[in-house]
Structure 1
Amino acid sequence: MQLGTRWAFGDEPPRSVPMELRPGIAAAESGTPDGAGRHWTLTWLEGRPIAELDDGTVVTLEHSSGGAADDDGDDW
């Protein structure tokens, strides 16, 4: 089990935030005019990190093995 964490908008993400997720967080912050008083929450879903800002902005990693075009619908 992996535990999540919280940190303030504009602060350096904690070490538990994967490096691959950080550029997306930085991009989301640069596109948000005022983040005062907002916080990020890091959670894990099926082993994948998800960062969500209080305003509903979500940053996650892209699924790297295929995608909808490669999905034949069979979940084994």
Structure 2
Amino acid sequence: MRLGTRWAFGDEPPPSVPSDLRPRIAAAEASTADGSGRHWTLTWPEGRPIAELDDGTVVTTGPVDTGASPAGDDDW
């Protein structure tokens, strides 16, 4: 199990944040008008790093699973 972490918007991400995620976080911060008071949370669901900003911005190394099933995929 890997533990997540939190850090403030605009601060250097902690060492536990993977190097391939760092430029994506920087790009998300650059495109955010005002990040004051916001924080990032890093989690590791199924071993994949996901950083989420308090406003709902999600940064990951792959597609984000929304939990929604594709249309017509119900096995009722």
TM range (shorter): 0.7 to 0.9
Q: Which runs of structure 1 show a deviation greater than 2 angstroms over 4 or more consecutive aligned residues?
A: none
Q: After TM superposition, list the pairs within 5 Å mapping 1:1-76 onto structure 2.
A: 1-62=1-62
TM-score w.r.t. the length of structure 2 is 0.81
TM-score w.r.t. the length of structure 1 is 0.81
* Secondary structure of the structure 2 residue equivalent to 1:46: helix
Tell me by how many angstroms 1:2 deviates.
Answer: 0.3
CA distance in 2, matches of 1:19, 1:43: 15
In structure 2, runs of 5+ residues without a counterpart are 64-76
Cα RMSD of the aligned pairs, angstroms, is 0.9
In structure 1, runs of 5+ residues without a counterpart are 64-76
Tell me by how many angstroms 1:34 deviates.
Answer: 0.4
CA distance in 2, matches of 1:23, 1:49: 14
* Aligned-pair identity (%): 79
